[in-house]
Structure 1
Amino acid sequence: MKRFSVIGAGKVGRVLAQRFHVSAAFQMQQILNRTLPSAQQACAFAGAGTAVADWAQLTPADVWMLAVGDDHLAAVCQQLVKQDVLQPGNVVFHCSGSKASTELQAATAAGVAVASVHPVRSFANPALVAADFSGTICSIEGDALALDVLSPALQSAGATLVQISAANKLLYHAGSVFASNYLVTLIEVALQTYAAAGIPPQQALAMAAPLARQSLENALTMGCAAALTGPIARGDLETVSRQQAAVQCWNRDTGELYRSFIPLTRQLASKRHHSEK
């Protein structure tokens, strides 16, 4: 069984480490975090591994996961290479959605196979994700050797794999941002707009929740064009114009956001109308 170590076990790192351990895909070895208590908590979550908080304590492993922030990937990889624990045939992979495996150039120069693995999930609640990981789509790209090692390990952990192009990582991840991060921001904007209209917070949430849930469910099951409702879908463009002006008067940024949705929503509405002819 290949030895597996982790650098930067935050939410994503902890979940993947736990799934690899439970499925016996790899043998957990070390988890390096900024602080020892944090590394110890990550080991406890994973159910295995030795916690370390000093680069000098790292020992050789066959597979390394770098689950650190995007902006730190290159520097962390360089630091790992400096520790002289990597050997030809090892695998180093990161978990960034936006950056490709080419970010690990220092490992490549050291003769190590590299890859990126990005689980398409929200990790706001790591325990819930770990318990319900089966079927999670993970996008992968990288060296053939790295993918040969990681693909069966991820599948045994319950992942469904989608291979993507390194050149398309930013665009691919933008899709995930729209589907997750910006969707959350949009709900917050809706709640703030209700508040500006004098609706109390709890009442605003009670109003927004069923609309958001049903609209999302309709879009996913019926298709986005068929799921579209509201003034643009009805062709009430005068209402849209007056509403945009009211929102702009209240909050400029929110007004511009509302404006930016108008042409895209009109395009979507035209698809629905065309299909009904």
Structure 2
Amino acid sequence: MDLGRINIIGCGRAAGSLARLWVEAGSVCIGDVINRTFESAERAVTRTGAGHAVTAVSSMSRAEYWLIGANDDRIEDLAELLADSVTGLERSVVFHLAGRFGLEVLEPLAKTGACLAALHPVRSLTDAKLTVEEFRGTACVAEGSSAALDRLQPLITSIGGSWLPVDSINRGLYHASVSIVSNITKAVAWKAQKWQQKAGLPAATAATVTHQLLQSTMVDLARAGAKKTITGPVVRGDTSTIEAHLGAIRHSHPEDIDVYRVLARTVLELAQERGDLDEETLQRFQSLFRN
């Protein structure tokens, strides 16, 4: 499959990961690559194994696809720079990878006749050795014109992505939701390992315990969802165990007491939705989890 050529403006971790996948799949030719500095662009080309580093957007050759992979706060400025610097963008597909933005940051390109899209692969793209097989099945949420999506879809399916087109959505809320699942889950796992080590577990053992719990949790979620598989002292109505948790955290990590309470309130909300708790127990938990 040869879908043409793609130029990349801002080839960091995410854009670089996708570029390497496209090289592996042989589905598109990596064209010109530009970063903040020429040296950075050269390093990106070396990591990708394809492409040509350039120093100015105006010097970039024509391409069927243009990926703006820069940091979120630079996308709109780069879209404007592209629109003002390059001719012949008619029918080229220009897209970005920022989950928090839709098409609004590409508005400067509307006058060029380019086909615009926002693509958000819902996974962490930080592994330089990520393979097509590992990427396979990754949800790729896409918003854009029908012309853009029709041409972007084969670019994603060629590397095994699961194509999920959407209409205009509340991007702030959407991005917050996926950040909770990914980044905040990692932060909570890190925090849990700190507590385990304080409790006396060696670091390696704490890592193993945490990873195994996360793996079994993912299996539960895939099998039946959170509502049917949630367990633990809150669901059981075991207030004495929760009191013991709070006492231990207050003693060893007092700065984290609010972290536990906030997360526990979410578990309580889920237990309420399931109807697990009587009113007296519910009120007791609410009192325990109040800041």
What TM-score results when the alignment is normalised by the length of structure 1? 0.87
C-alpha deviation, 1:272, in angstroms: 4.8
Asked if 1:58 corresponds to 2:51, the answer is no
RMSD over aligned CA atoms reads 2.4
Partner SS state of residue 173, structure 1: helix
Matches within 5 A, 1:1-277: 1-248=3-250, 250-272=252-274
Aligned residues of 1:61 and 1:85 also touching (Cα < 8 A): no
C-alpha deviation, 1:198, in angstroms: 4.0
Alpha-carbon separation, structure 2, partners of 1:36 and 1:222: 50
Using a 3 Å threshold, how does the CA distance of structure 1 residues 45 and 266 change in structure 2: closer, same or farther?
A: same
Alpha-carbon separation, structure 1, partners of 2:159 and 2:202: 44
Using a 3 Å threshold, how does the CA distance of structure 1 residues 130 and 36 change in structure 2: closer, same or farther?
A: farther
Alpha-carbon separation, structure 1, partners of 2:99 and 2:148: 17
The C-alpha deviation readout for 1:183-225, integer Å capped at 9, x for no partner, is: 1000111112223334442333243333332233223323323
Residue identity over aligned pairs, in percent, reads 28
Using a 3 Å threshold, how does the CA distance of structure 1 residues 272 and 167 change in structure 2: closer, same or farther?
A: closer
Aligned residues of 1:88 and 1:110 also touching (Cα < 8 A): yes
Instruction: Could you list the structure 1 runs, at least 4 aligned residues long, displaced by more than 6 angstroms after superposition.
Output: none
Letter in 2 for 1:83: S
What TM-score results when the alignment is normalised by the length of structure 2? 0.83
Aligned residues of 1:2 and 1:26 also touching (Cα < 8 A): yes
Alpha-carbon separation, structure 2, partners of 1:27 and 1:219: 38
Using a 3 Å threshold, how does the CA distance of structure 1 residues 233 and 12 change in structure 2: closer, same or farther?
A: same
Aligned residues of 2:132 and 2:160 also touching (Cα < 8 A): no
Structure 1 gap segments, 5+ residues each = none
C-alpha deviation, 1:107, in angstroms: 0.8
Aligned residues of 1:43 and 1:49 also touching (Cα < 8 A): yes
